[in-house]
Amino acid sequence: MVNDISSEPCWTVQRGSGPIIATAIHDGHDLRPEVARVMALDEADRLREEDPFTGQSVRDVGTHIVVHRSRFEFDLNRAAADAVYVKPEQSWGLEVWQPGAPDEGLVQRSLALHADYYRMLGALLGEVAERHPRFVLIDVHSYNHRRDGPGGAATPQADAPDINIGTFSMPREQWAFLLDPLIEAMRGFDFNGRRLDVRENVAFQGKGEQTRFVHANFPGQGCAIALEFKKFFMDEWTGAPDPAELDDMRAFVSHISATAEELLQA
């Protein structure tokens, strides 16, 4: 149905005055009705591949975006050609759709929302760029490390840092003055009584569409950092969070945002 559109917002945008933006583009779990009717995945399987609670972590940053729609409706961290998971190989081998779905109309309506997001993001970043000579976008995600089941072994720590920083699309040397001390600030943060293992380009390389978009459209002015929390803050099989860990996730992102702003001004 062409008019089968949810009345719920696709994303929430909070505008502040500073040069730091934080986003949680995979936080969402909602589906518009026409998508929900032909979705084969159950709630638990969808939630496992989404990034729950990342939206909560960015809310103290003056300018932030929290996306409410599931990545299984449209994935904002992929280019349009792959933003709707039509084939299982695009979605970790999962059978996302009921037989015969999705039809082309549904796909195109999802891609229209994907395009709407990037128009909005471009306009928002343009406003920030008018006010500040340089800005930083912190692109917050999370990732699974217990893919062998609730009783299976976790991915070894050597391959799964607590925080993975992705910098693939970043002109790394140009932003080293900011990124290197920022990573050290992450490592030094007292996270619920411990120091986190923070490494660069280990579990992921930061090849997502949003960071690419920032660096392509605001060269030399915008620095986008993909920040992936390992899901140590929740049970990735039940979806149950650890409230104390969530509180410190929010404090961590707020601290990193403030540190990034200080480094820009130095």
Q: Is the pLDDT of residue 6 over 70?
A: no
pLDDT digits (tens, 9 = 90+) for 151-193: 899 999 999 999 999 999 999 999 999 999 999 999 999 999 9
The answer to whether residue 239 sits within a structural domain is yes
Q: Which has more confidence, 7 or 140?
A: 140
The answer to whether residue 3 sits within a structural domain is no
Which one, of 263, 258, 266, lies nearest residue 18 by Cα? 258
CATH classification of the domain holding 67: 3.40.630.40
Q: Does the predicted TM-score (pTM) go above 0.75?
A: yes
The answer to whether residue 1 sits within a structural domain is no
Instruction: Give the burial string for 203-240 (b: 16+ CB within 10 Å, else e).
Output: beebebbbbbbbbeebeebbbbbbbbbbbbbbebbeee
The answer to whether residue 6 sits within a structural domain is no
What integer pLDDT is reported at residue 4 of this predicted model?
63
Strands across the sheet containing 222-230: 11-14, 63-67, 20-24, 135-143, 222-230, 163-166, 198-200
The answer to whether residue 69 sits within a structural domain is yes
The answer to whether residue 228 sits within a structural domain is yes
pLDDT digits (tens, 9 = 90+) for 210-247: 999 999 999 999 999 999 999 999 999 999 999 999 99
Count up the domains in the chain and report the number.
1
Q: Is the pLDDT of residue 3 over 90?
A: no
Instruction: Give the burial string for 10-45 (b: 16+ CB within 10 Å, else e).
Output: bbeeeeeebbbbbbbbbbbbebbebbeebbebeeee
Instruction: Name every residue whose Cβ is closer than 8 Å to that of residue 116 and which is 6 or more positions away in sequence.
Output: 10
Which structural domain, as residue segments, surrounds residue 131?
Answer: 11-265
The answer to whether residue 2 sits within a structural domain is no
Half-sphere exposure of 264 (CA within 13 A, CB side): 19
The answer to whether residue 5 sits within a structural domain is no
